[in-house]
Chain A
Amino acid sequence: QVQLHESGPGLVKPSETLSLTCRMSAGSVSNYFWNWIRQPAGKGLEYVGRVSPNGDSNYNPSLRSRVTLSIDKSKNQISLRLDSVTAADTAVYYCVREKVGARYYFDYWGQGTLVTVSS
């Protein structure tokens, strides 16, 4: 069973940068498409973006100006960077693997990591 594990600071100050990484328990990240989805406490799901095995990335238009996704094959991990954060960015962030053969649907999710933006 594939397991995904997100990690990073749980607390980020307003206007600073949020950085998270995601590792897969087995296999190579190079073989899959990776996405990030976030969920504020008690609320619904918001799509952040996607990074391809070759490193190409695409983002939710609402976050495009602030977000960067990348894939590091040498470390076998995926990374998220979100600049200029505000309280509205407080959420559980999920690293999500795209379903093989069914693009843009998500069948493997990390347990999520809570990021709080506060001074």
Chain B
Amino acid sequence: EIVLTQSPATLSLSPGERATLFCRASQSVDNYLAWYQQKPGQAPRLLVYDASNRATGVPARFSGSGSGTDFTLTIYSLEPEDFAVYYCQQRRDWPGITFGPGTKVDF
């Protein structure tokens, strides 16, 4: 099983600041990595897939990068609605798809 580790567990920032979230895989996932945003009481929302492709309707302030084992999600200039939990997901090992434990972005 490919294990995904996310850091930090919590990121305390203010609106307008830049958020940098990390996801590390226990072995290479090539570029087969996605990022999701989840707000309380809601289902996750796809933000980025294949490491750097923004999903439909996702604002340009969200940017994904990385390949192999190390990945980054950057949120340039946080908006109030961006405070949420972010998960990474790998599909390299399908059907053993796994998610990271999440990073909470809060005030």
Q: Which residues of A contact B (CB under 8 A)?
A: 44-47, 49-50, 58-61, 94, 99, 102-107, 109-112
Contact residues in B for A102 (Cβ distance below 8 Å): 49-50, 53
Residues B46 and A61 in contact, CB atoms below 8 Å apart: no
Contact of B43 among A46, A47, A105, A110 (CB under 8 A): A110
Give A92's nearest chain B residue, CB to CB.
B43
Count of A-B contacts with CB under 8 A? Answer: 59
The main secondary structure of chain B at its interface with chain A is loop
Measured between alpha carbons, how far is A94 from B97 in the docked complex, in Å?
Answer: 15
CA distance A58 to B93 in the complex (A): 12
The answer to whether B91 touches A103 (Cβ under 8 A) is yes
Given A94-B43, A105-B46, answer yes or no on A61-B95 (Cβ-Cβ < 8 Å): yes
* Shortest CB distance B100–A (Å): 7
Indicate whether B102 reaches chain A with its CB closer than 8 angstroms: yes
What are the nearest 7 A-B pairs in CB distance? A109-B43, A104-B91, A47-B97, A45-B99, A58-B95, A105-B49, A107-B46
How many Å lie between the Cα of A110 and that of B94 in the bound state? 22
Interface size class of B (residues with CB under 8 A): 20 to 34
